[in-house]
């Protein structure tokens, strides 16, 4: 199985170098933690992986495909999903509909077939509904499945983002600060969900400020500072690295 | 639940089908037919402005293109009404494509301006192309052949077409396409993240709305029996959009009610005719201020209250075995 790779990636905003020559692989079936102080380039890297930015140097690749210049919409097709730091749900739709929207890449029925009520869109709809239903019960949203998304609590919104991402049947999922604003118990649930995804073979890129959470969960951790990788390796090595402690973890 | 809905739909259809037998005069029947013709356009526009988001205030231009196309094809050239209506729709759709292809890339306000400009250009063209459209004098629009030649027949024809268009949009709205359209409206970022080709969706529904506007133009023109460029004032384009806003974006029943109310209100309140525009204004203000999600949402809220569904909070508790099974379900070829 091949990995999602950033090779020597550089990103500039005007004169500011947000990322400089960063190399990072996410393997299938691993949790890769990405930590660093504010402004170190974590979210920029995630936006490069998910196609919202284009690199000024280096490349983003999966399998043999160079994704550097591919549009955002290409990501779900090759199996890369993401969640957002601030949940981006469709407020007037139900939880089930919000999850189902992740089934778009599997929707083959065109506008005309749908409008004419042909059997195919109906069949696709039923299959996606079934899968969304199972995923929602899986992440713990079974009780609120027909609630409008604008009535959800914060944790529910975060978990719904993950369910929607999983609807894309991703090989890799990029989580942008998924633990932000969650309580201790909810963070434990989140950890269990992330581990389950990994155990099913999904590669997880975990961008997060809760360093304890990252070190506890991750198979490998990369630390960024000022747009550069300062340490990369197993959690215990990174945790004890003097440079990481100096710039980020503190004494 | 489903049976009750079918029952309600059956009751509404029964009322609509038998309407010609219990209206008091032909004018009220004409009003019913007019609402139907407007609705054919608004139902299509609803997929654009209500579901997908782009604000078009220029559909009156597409309406007039449909009306003139029908008048010229069925009147001047004597083509049978059925293919003439279909051609009016096709021309409307083609114009929708020509208008939408460059302008749908524009952000909201600028798109609205481009649709406005389009409707103004169509008006000027209708005025200038005297040989084709009769210019400022206007052009007669033929009626429909038997059995649709009587006022009742025309009403039923419009009812059939209106129901068909409603059914088409309902099919779209409740399937993946409907969800994707709403995603484009509420969060383009989300739509892109799940792979929705935003421009293609906008263009598709815009062309569809052009087709329905063209068909509506044929029906509307025939109801008017005579059209001039002044028939298609700019306010009409605004009116179509307002019907959707008052009815509520993201539903079908709401805009349908909005269309019926806004068309009938000034006409039925004849003594208040001069206050018609004031009524519009007040209604629009009330809806925007008090019911920003429209009349349709008001009904939903009432139904939810009556059912007494309580929103209770319970902790999120994942079912990991089920989650793993669901992920693997997606993996299976």
How do residues A113-142 score in pLDDT, each as one tens digit? 999 999 999 999 999 999 999 999 999 999
Q: Which pLDDT score, from 0 to 100, does residue B283 have?
A: 81
Question: Distance (Å, rounded) from C-alpha B256 to C-alpha B240?
Answer: 11
Nearest CA in chain A to B171: A115
The mean pLDDT of A223-248, rounded to a whole number, is 91
Distance from CA of residue B307 to its chain's centroid?
31
Is the pLDDT at A251 greater than 60? The verdict is: no
Tell which of A92, A98, A178, A199 to mutate to test the B interface (max B CBs under 10 Å): A92
Instruction: Supply the ipTM of this predicted assembly.
Output: 0.92
Angle between helices B151-173 and B198-224 (to 10 degrees): 170
Q: Do B326 and A142 touch (CB under 8 A)?
A: no
The mean pLDDT of A140-147, rounded to a whole number, is 92
Please answer whether residues A172 and A4 qualify as being in contact, where contact means their C-beta atoms are separated by less than 8 angstroms. Answer: yes
Q: What is the DSSP letter of A148?
A: B
**Strand, coil or helix: what is B102?**
helix
Residue that wins the pLDDT comparison between A154 and B281: A154
Domain that holds residue A37: 4-249
| Alpha carbon distances (Å) from B236 to A15, B61, B64, B122, B241 | 51, 9, 11, 14, 9
Question: Distance (Å, rounded) from C-alpha A113 to C-alpha A14?
Answer: 47
Q: Which pLDDT score, from 0 to 100, does residue B298 have?
A: 83
CB atoms within 10 A of CB A208: 22
Give start and end residues of each alpha helix (H) in chain A: 42-49, 74-78, 95-100, 111-115, 119-139, 154-167, 184-199, 211-217, 235-239, 242-244
Using a CB–CB cutoff of 8 Å, tell me whether B18 touches chain A.
Answer: no
Is the pLDDT at A250 greater than 80? The verdict is: no
Name the nearest CA neighbour of A178 among A227, A139, A220, A144. A139
Q: Which of B172, B176, B317 sits opposite A189 (nearest CB)?
A: B317
Please answer whether residues A218 and A35 qualify as being in contact, where contact means their C-beta atoms are separated by less than 8 angstroms. Answer: no
Structure pTM? Answer: 0.92
Nearest CA in chain B to A47: B193
Please compute Rg for chain A using Cα positions. 19
Length of chain B counted residue by residue? 333
Reported as a single tens digit per residue, the pLDDT across A49-92 is: 999 999 999 999 998 889 999 999 999 999 999 999 999 999 99
CATH number (domain holding residue A154)? 3.40.50.300
Q: Which residues in chain B have their CB less than 8 angstroms from residue A82's CB?
A: 193
B24-307, CATH topology level = ABC transporter involved in vitamin B12 uptake, BtuC (1.10.3470)
Question: Distance (Å, rounded) from C-alpha B116 to C-alpha B234?
Answer: 8
Using a CB–CB cutoff of 8 Å, tell me whether A116 touches chain B.
Answer: yes
Q: Which pLDDT score, from 0 to 100, does residue B318 have?
A: 86
Name the nearest CA neighbour of A111 among B37, B40, B93, B108. B93
The rounded mean pLDDT for chain A is 93
Q: Which long-range contacts (CB under 8 A, 24 or more apart) does A177-184 make?
A: A177/A85, A177/A207, A177/A208, A177/A209, A178/A83, A178/A206, A178/A208, A179/A208, A179/A209, A179/A210, A179/A213, A180/A85, A180/A209, A181/A154, A181/A155, A182/A154, A182/A155, A182/A158, A183/A155
Q: Which pLDDT score, from 0 to 100, does residue A49 have?
A: 95
Q: Which pLDDT score, from 0 to 100, does residue B332 have?
A: 67
Domain boundaries, chain B: 24-307
| Alpha carbon distances (Å) from B282 to A130, B252, B286, B287 | 45, 23, 6, 9
Q: Which pLDDT score, from 0 to 100, does residue B218 have?
A: 97
The minimum CA-CA distance between A51 and chain B, rounded to whole Å, is: 9
Is the pLDDT at A1 greater than 60? The verdict is: no
Question: Distance (Å, rounded) from C-alpha A208 to C-alpha B223?
Answer: 64
Nearest CA in chain B to A74: B195
The minimum CA-CA distance between B205 and chain A, rounded to whole Å, is: 8
Bridge partner residues of A172 (DSSP) = A80, A203
The domain total for chain A is 1
Exposure of A100 in the CB half-sphere (CA atoms within 13 A): 24
Percent of chain A with pLDDT over 90: 90
Using a CB–CB cutoff of 8 Å, tell me whether A160 touches chain B.
Answer: no
Nearest CA in chain A to B314: A143
Flag residues of chain B having pLDDT under 70: 1, 269-274, 276, 308-313, 332-333
Residues 299-318 of B with CB under 8 A from A: 311, 313-318
Model confidence band, residue A248 (pLDDT cutoffs 50, 70, 90): confident
Q: Which pLDDT score, from 0 to 100, does residue B311 have?
A: 62
Tokens 């604000």 correspond to what residue?
B55
């Amino acid at each position: 199985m091949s990995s999602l790779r950033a090779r020597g990636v550089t990103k500039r905003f005007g004169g500011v170098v947000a990322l400089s020559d960063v190399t990072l692989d996410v393997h299938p079936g691993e949790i890769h933690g990405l930590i660093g102080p504010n402004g170190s380039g974590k979210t920029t890297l995630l936006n490069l992986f998910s196609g919202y930015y284009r690199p000024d140097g280096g490349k983003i690749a999966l399998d043999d495909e160079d994704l550097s210049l591919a549009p955002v919409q290409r990501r779900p097709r090759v199996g890369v999903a993401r969640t957002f730091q601030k949940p981006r749900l469709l407020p007037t739709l139900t939880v089930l509909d919000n999850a189902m929207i992740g089934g778009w890449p599997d929707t083959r029925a065109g506008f005309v077939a749908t409008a004419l009520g042909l059997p195919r869109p109906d069949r696709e709809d039923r299959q996606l509904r079934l899968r969304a239903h199972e995923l929602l019960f899986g992440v713990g949203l079974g009780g609120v499945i027909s609630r409008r998304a604008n009535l959800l609590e914060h944790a529910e919104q975060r978990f719904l983002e993950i369910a929607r991402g999983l609807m894309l049947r991703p090989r890799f999922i990029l989580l942008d600060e998924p633990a932000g604003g969650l309580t201790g118990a909810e963070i434990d649930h989140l950890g269990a969900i992330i581990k389950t995804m990994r155990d099913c073979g999904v590669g997880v890129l975990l961008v997060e400020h809760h360093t304890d959470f990252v070190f506890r969960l991750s198979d490998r951790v990369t630390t960024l500072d000022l747009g550069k990788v300062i340490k990369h390796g197993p959690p215990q090595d990174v945790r004890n690295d003097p440079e990481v402690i100096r710039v980020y973890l503190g004494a | 639940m489903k049976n009750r809905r079918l029952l309600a739909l059956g009751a509404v259809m029964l009322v609509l089908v038998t309407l010609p037998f219990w209206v008091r005069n032909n004018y009220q029947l004409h009003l019913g037919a007019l609402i139907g013709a407007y609705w054919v356009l608004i139902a299509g526009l609803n997929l654009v402005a209500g579901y997908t988001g782009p604000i078009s205030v220029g559909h009156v231009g597409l309406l007039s293109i449909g009306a003139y196309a029908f008048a010229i094809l069925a009147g001047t050239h004597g083509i049978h009404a059925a293919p003439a209506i279909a051609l009016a729709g096709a021309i409307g759709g083609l114009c929708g494509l020509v208008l939408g292809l460059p302008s749908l890339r524009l952000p909201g306000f600028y798109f609205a301006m481009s649709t406005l400009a389009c409707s103004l250009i169509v008006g000027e063209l209708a005025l200038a192309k005297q040989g084709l459209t009769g210019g400022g004098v206007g052009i007669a629009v033929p009626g429909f052949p038997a059995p649709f030649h009587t006022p009742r027949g025309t009403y039923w024809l419009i009812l059939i077409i209106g129901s068909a268009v409603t059914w088409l949009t309902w099919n779209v709205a409740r399937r993946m396409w409907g969800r994707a359209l709403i995603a484009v409206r509420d969060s383009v970022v989300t739509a892109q993240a799940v792979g929705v080709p935003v421009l293609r969706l906008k263009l598709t529904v815009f062309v569809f709305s052009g087709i329905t506007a063209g068909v509506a133009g044929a029906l509307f023109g025939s109801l008017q029996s005579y059209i001039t460029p002044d028939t298609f004032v700019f306010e009409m384009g605004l009116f179509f959009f307002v019907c959707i806003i008052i009815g509520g974006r993201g539903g079908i029943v709401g805009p349908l009610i909005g269309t019926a109310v806004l068309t009938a209100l000034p006409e039925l309140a004849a003594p208040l005719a001069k206050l018609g525009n004031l009524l519009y204004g007040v209604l629009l203000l009330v809806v925007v201020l008090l019911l920003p999600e429209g009349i349709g949402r008001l009904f939903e809220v009432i139904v939810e209250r009556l059912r007494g569904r309580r929103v209770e909070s319970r902790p999120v508790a994942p079912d990991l075995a089920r989650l793993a099974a669901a992920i693997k379900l997606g993996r299976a070829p």
